[in-house]
């Protein structure tokens, strides 16, 4: 039943490019892109409660891989390479740092994004002597849309499977109390590493898929820290512990951003900042949790009446 509904929804969404114009399609790409990023982010950060700001590091690595390799090999192979590079970086980084916890991890991940950006810049400046790279691929917006839709579907399926599988339980225990988890025999670092890498690969692919849309890639474009922050705020708004939580945060927020930038181009940043504060204060556990709470209260009222 679930499978059928999911497949139907997927088919309906896949048909969207045939019916809408360029602008709604652009919106769709934005929503799917952030939906995939937020879902991938919540894959690791939801259960473990490790707030990661490294999203854009992997996103940018994906985009750069496409820029570097696009002329050298067929496109599917490029995507595969991007995924592999994302995986290797995530494993290296994860091995070195997943023993960090709390605020140290947040700071480290933020630093990681900057580190990767500086490394790419250093390499481009001193070795290749070209900072901007051109991506000329015969990939239209509808192809990007379909690829992102596929990525989102796979990420959601993965999240669904993990929430049912042993590894998901292990992660939740780690998130609740790492000491208890290790006493229970959960291999903490290995579990975290596996999830961190999966999530990173999805983020890398999100960057790789969207690269052809920009034509021109340079570090300041693809390693823009705003991407990391938006991803976090979207996942938090929806609720990072639910399957559709991050997506439910990404869709309304993205549309809201779009509406704000279309109607309040000069006050966008101010309104956005106020909104972030409001989300953190009013909905600390996300919309879905707030909804549950609200529903429970209604039930209580009915019961007592």
Partner 1 sequence: MTNLSRRTLLQAMGTGALATALASLPTFAQDRTAIRIGYAVSKTGANAGGAGISTIPNYLLWVDDVNKAGGLELSKLGVTLPLEVTEYDDRSSAEETVRAIERLATQDNVDFILPSWGTGSNLAAGPTFDRFGFPQLAGTAVTDMAPQLAQRWKNSFWFLGGGHDYANALVNLLVKQRDAGAINNKVAIASVADGFGIDLSKAATPAFEAAGFELVYDKTYPLGTSDFAPIINEVSGLGVDTFVAFSYPPDTFALTQQAVVANFSPKVFYLGVGTAFPIYPNVAGPNHNGVMGVGGIDPDSEAIAAYFERHTALVGQAPDSWASAVTYASLEILGQAITRVGDLDKSAVAAEIASGEFDTILGKVKLVDNQLRALWTVGQWQDGKFVGLAHTEGKAAREPVVPKPAWVPAS
d(CA 230, CA 41): 11
Count CB neighbours of 2 within 10 A.
7
What's the Rg (C-alpha) of the chain?
A: 20
Residue 301 CB, shortest distance to partner 1, in Å, is 20
Using CB under 8 A, pick the residue from 84, 187, 215, 278 that binds partner 1.
215
Q: Does 213 bind partner 1 (CB under 8 A)?
A: yes
Using CB under 8 A, pick the residue from 77, 104, 134, 299 that binds partner 1.
134
Q: Does 251 bind partner 1 (CB under 8 A)?
A: yes
d(CA 288, CA 60): 30
Q: Does 161 bind partner 1 (CB under 8 A)?
A: no
Stretch that binds partner 1, among 67-75, 99-107, 185-193, 238-246 (CB under 8 A): 238-246
Is residue 100 within 8 Å of 51, Cβ to Cβ? Answer: no
Residue 286 Cα distances to 149, 191, 255, 280, angstroms: 24, 25, 17, 9
Residue 205 CB, shortest distance to partner 1, in Å, is 16
Using CB under 8 A, pick the residue from 158, 242, 283, 286 that binds partner 1.
242
Q: Does 136 bind partner 1 (CB under 8 A)?
A: yes
Using CB under 8 A, pick the residue from 4, 103, 226, 281 that binds partner 1.
226
Q: Which residues lie below 8 Å from residue 64, measured CB to CB, with a gap of 6+?
A: 120, 133, 211, 217, 222
Q: Does 20 bind partner 1 (CB under 8 A)?
A: yes
Nearest to 96 by CA among 56, 54, 37: 54
Nearer residue to partner 1 within complex by CB, 101 or 131: 131
Q: Does 266 bind partner 1 (CB under 8 A)?
A: yes
Residues 109-128: x where in contact with partner 1 by CB under 8 A, - otherwise, as a string: ---------x--xx-xxx--
d(CA 292, CA 159): 21
Using CB under 8 A, pick the residue from 7, 259, 280, 296 that binds partner 1.
259
Nearest to 159 by CA among 77, 41, 73: 41
d(CA 114, CA 9): 38
User: 165 to 184, contacts with partner 1 by CB under 8 A?
Assistant: none
Q: Does 132 bind partner 1 (CB under 8 A)?
A: yes
User: 46 to 65, contacts with partner 1 by CB under 8 A?
Assistant: none
Q: What would the DSSP string read from start to end of 174-196?
A: HHH-HHHHHHTT--HHHHHHHHH
Nearer residue to partner 1 within complex by CB, 85 or 206: 206
Residue 302 Cα distances to 91, 291, 293, 298, angstroms: 51, 16, 14, 6
Q: Does 143 bind partner 1 (CB under 8 A)?
A: no
Size of the site for partner 1 (CB under 8 A): 54
Residues that bind partner 1 (CB under 8 A): 1-2, 5, 9, 20-28, 30-31, 118, 121-122, 124-126, 129-132, 134, 136, 210, 213-216, 218, 220-221, 224, 226, 242-244, 247-248, 251-252, 255, 258-259, 261-262, 265-266, 268-269, 288
């Amino acid at each position: 039943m679930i499978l059928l509904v999911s497949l139907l929804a997927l088919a309906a969404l896949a048909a969207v490019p045939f019916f809408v114009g360029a602008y709604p399609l652009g919106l769709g790409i934005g929503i799917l892109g952030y939906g995939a990023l937020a879902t991938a982010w919540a894959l690791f950060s939801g259960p473990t409660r490790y707030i990661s700001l490294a999203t854009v590091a992997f996103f940018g690595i994906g985009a750069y891989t496409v820029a570097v390799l696009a002329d050298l090999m067929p496109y599917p192979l490029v995507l595969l390479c991007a995924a592999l590079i994302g995986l290797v970086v995530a494993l290296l980084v994860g091995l070195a740092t997943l023993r960090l916890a709390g605020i140290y991890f947040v700071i480290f991940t933020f630093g990681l994004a900057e580190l990767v950006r500086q490394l790419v810049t250093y390499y481009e400046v001193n070795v290749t002597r070209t900072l901007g790279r051109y991506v000329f691929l015969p990939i239209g917006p509808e192809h990007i849309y379909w690829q992102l839709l596929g990525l989102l579907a796979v990420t959601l399926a993965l999240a669904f499977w993990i929430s049912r599988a042993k590894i998901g339980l292990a992660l939740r225990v780690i998130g609740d109390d790492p000491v208890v988890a290790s006493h229970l025999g959960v291999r903490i670092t290995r579990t975290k590493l596996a999830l961190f890498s999966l999530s990173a690969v999805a983020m890398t692919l999100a960057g790789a898929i969207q690269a052809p849309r920009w034509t021109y890639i340079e570090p300041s474009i693809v390693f823009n820290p705003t991407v990391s922050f938006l991803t976090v705020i979207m996942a938090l708004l929806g609720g990072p512990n639910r399957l559709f939580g991050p997506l439910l945060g990404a869709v309304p927020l993205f549309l809201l951003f779009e509406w704000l930038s279309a109607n309040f181009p000069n006050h966008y940043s101010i309104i956005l900042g106020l909104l972030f504060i409001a989300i953190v204060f009013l909905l600390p556990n996300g919309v879905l949790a707030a909804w549950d709470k609200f529903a429970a209260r209604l039930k209580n009222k009915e019961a007592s009446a």
